[in-house]
């Protein structure tokens, strides 16, 4: 059903070698730098597919922009501590917090519960060196 195209492999490959959360536009730019004449729309389509299927992680900035990243935790539900400058990330797994969220919703009779949780801050390196690429 879902095909193994050159473009998709290239997106996957780039994500594989990238540590930080990146925007679709950033990823597209990097792919262009390389060689591929990959289209922006394809990057968006691919990332959406991957994110919806849980294949890659996604966070939303307060601005509404979304960032993507392959996660070590794979498909397992987890959250992120993200550096607001470099996008560097620590994956957070906290069963207790998950249980708490479920509990809160249940107490109020809410069904089909989901939650989002992002922790943002300045990572130790950016705190010292300042934002990257300045």
Q: Does 30 bind DNA (CB under 7 A)?
A: no
- Nearest approach, Cβ of residue 101 and DNA (Å): 24
What the block records as the tokens of 91 is 């994956």
Identify the helix (H) or strand (E) that includes residue 105: helix 95-107
What the block records as the tokens of 51 is 């994110």
Q: Are 77 and 65 a contacting pair, CB within 8 Å?
A: no
Identify the helix (H) or strand (E) that includes residue 57: strand 57-60
Q: Does 116 bind DNA (CB under 7 A)?
A: no
- Nearest approach, Cβ of residue 28 and DNA (Å): 9
Q: Does 55 bind DNA (CB under 7 A)?
A: no
Residues that bind DNA (CB under 7 A): 1-8, 23-25, 36-42, 44-46, 48, 63-66
């Amino acid at each position: 059903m879902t095909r193994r195209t050159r473009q998709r492999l290239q997106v996957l490959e780039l994500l594989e070698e990238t540590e930080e959360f990146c925007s679709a536009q950033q990823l597209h730019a990097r792919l262009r730098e390389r060689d591929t004449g990959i289209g922006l729309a394809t990057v968006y389509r691919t990332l959406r597919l991957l994110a919806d299927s849980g294949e890659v992680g996604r966070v939303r900035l307060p601005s509404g922009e979304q960032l993507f990243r392959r996660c070590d935790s794979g498909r397992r539900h987890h959250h992120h501590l993200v550096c607001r400058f470099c996008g560097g990330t620590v994956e957070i797994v906290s069963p207790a917090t998950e249980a708490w969220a479920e509990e809160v919703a249940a107490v109020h009779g809410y069904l089909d519960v989901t939650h989002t949780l992002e922790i943002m801050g300045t990572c130790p390196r950016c705190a010292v060196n300042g934002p990257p690429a300045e």
